[in-house]
Amino acid sequence: GPEHPDSAWQYDFHHRRGVIVSEPDRELAITLDALDITAPYTPGALRGGSHVHVFSPDGSRLSFTYNDHVMHERDPARDLRNVGVAVPLHGVNPPKQHPREYDGSHY
């Protein structure tokens, strides 16, 4: 769910965040998907929350299901669940025009 939830930003499908933890530093969680909910949107960033992350057999790709915060704000009926694929090509760093936007390690 979201860090520091409040009355305007609570746990929901479109507010989830994908992170990964690996050996040897199990205390460090790395955010996989960047979030950018302010137009113009950053290529490679999501506009909502990811969930159900599954690695490809060779570990080179990561599939996930996704719900779009921007669509949910416009009309919850239009926020349909989607499927996405993340790849470790490079990080994605949106300009942070909203306090809930953040960077991600995967494109």
- Position 9 scores a pLDDT of 87
Report the SS3 class of residue 15. helix
Classify each residue of 18-54 as buried b or exposed e, where b means 16 or more C-beta atoms within 10 Å of its C-beta: beeeeeeeeeeeebbbbbbbbeeebebbbbbbbeebe
| Domain residue limits at 25 | 13-86
If one counts the domains in the chain, the total is 1
Does residue 6 belong to any structural domain of this protein?
A: no
- pLDDT by residue (tens digit) across 22-40? 888 999 999 999 999 999 9
Does residue 7 belong to any structural domain of this protein?
A: no
Alpha-helical (H) ranges within 3-81 are: 69-74
> Could you tell me the two tokens for 60?
């080179």
- Position 2 scores a pLDDT of 74
Per-chain mean pLDDT for the chain:
94
| Least reliable range by pLDDT among 9-13, 53-57, 58-62 | 9-13
Does residue 97 belong to any structural domain of this protein?
A: no
Contact 95, 42 (CB under 8 A): yes
pTM score, two decimals?
Answer: 0.90
